[in-house]
C-alpha cells in the first residue's frame, strides 16, 4: 500500500518516488541546518546555564551564611538574657524562675554548637559551658526546688554562670567586629 495524498489514479513506482523526493530534500536541507543551530545553542547554552547555576549556588551560600550569622547572634543574645535572668532569680530567690532560665540558656547554647561562625575553640567551649549550665540546673533542682530551700546560692555556681556569660559576651564582641567590617 502506497501513501499518496490527493491521488486520483493508481500511481506507478516512479510517481511514488517523485512524490517523496521533495520531502526528503526539504528534511535533508533544513534538518542539517537545524542540527547545526541546535549544536550552537547547546555549545552556548550549556556553559551559560552552568555559569548561572554556579553563580546561584555562590549567592545561596552567601545568603545562608548571613542567616547563620543572624541566628547565632540572636541565640547569643537569648543565652545572655537567660543567664542574666538566672543570676537575678538566684539573688531574689525565685528558684523556679532561676531553674527555667538556666534550662533555657542550656538548651539554646547546645543549639549553637555547630554554627559555622564559631571557631573550633569556641565550639569546644560551648560544650563546656553547656555542661556547667547543666550542673547549675541540677543544683537548683536538687537543692532549691524542694520544701524550705535556703536563700544562699553556692559561689561556685555563681562563678559558673558568670563565666558562661563572659564567654557569650566575648563571642558577641568578636561577631560584632566581623559584622562591622566592610
pLDDT digits (tens, 9 = 90+) for 30-60: 777 777 788 888 889 889 999 999 999 999 9
pLDDT tens-digit readout, 108-149:
999 999 999 999 999 999 999 999 999 999 999 999 988 888
Per-residue cell: 16 = 511514488
Measure Cα distances from 46 to 39, 40, 42, 101, 103 in Å: 10, 10, 6, 55, 54
166-173 average pLDDT score: 95
Considering only CA atoms, which of 99, 174, 110 is closest in space to residue 135? 99
Q: What is the pTM of this model?
A: 0.70
Residue 1 confidence (pLDDT): 46
Residues 165 and 73: their CA atoms lie apart, in Å, by: 14
CATH node for 64-180: 1.20.120.660
Residue 19 confidence (pLDDT): 62
Residue 74 confidence (pLDDT): 95
Residues 106 and 114: their CA atoms lie apart, in Å, by: 15
On average, the pLDDT of the chain sits at 86
Amino acid at each position: 500500500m502506497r501513501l499518496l495524498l490527493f491521488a486520483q489514479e493508481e500511481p506507478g513506482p516512479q510517481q511514488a518516488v517523485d512524490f517523496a523526493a521533495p520531502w526528503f530534500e526539504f528534511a535533508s536541507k533544513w534538518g542539517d541546518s537545524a542540527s547545526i543551530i541546535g549544536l550552537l545553542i547547546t555549545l552556548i547554552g550549556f556553559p551559560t546555564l552552568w555559569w548561572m547555576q554556579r553563580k546561584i549556588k555562590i549567592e545561596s551560600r552567601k545568603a545562608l551564611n548571613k542567616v547563620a550569622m543572624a541566628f547565632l547572634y540572636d541565640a547569643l543574645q537569648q543565652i545572655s538574657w537567660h543567664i542574666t535572668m538566672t543570676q537575678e532569680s538566684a539573688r531574689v530567690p525565685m528558684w523556679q524562675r532561676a531553674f527555667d532560665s538556666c534550662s533555657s540558656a542550656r538548651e539554646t547554647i547546645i543549639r549553637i554548637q555547630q554554627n559555622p561562625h564559631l571557631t573550633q575553640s569556641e565550639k569546644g567551649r560551648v560544650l563546656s559551658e553547656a555542661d556547667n549550665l547543666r550542673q547549675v540546673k541540677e543544683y537548683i533542682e536538687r537543692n532549691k526546688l524542694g520544701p524550705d530551700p535556703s536563700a544562699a546560692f553556692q559561689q561556685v555556681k555563681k562563678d559558673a554562670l558568670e563565666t558562661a556569660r563572659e564567654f557569650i559576651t566575648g563571642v558577641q564582641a568578636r561577631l560584632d567586629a566581623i559584622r562591622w567590617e566592610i
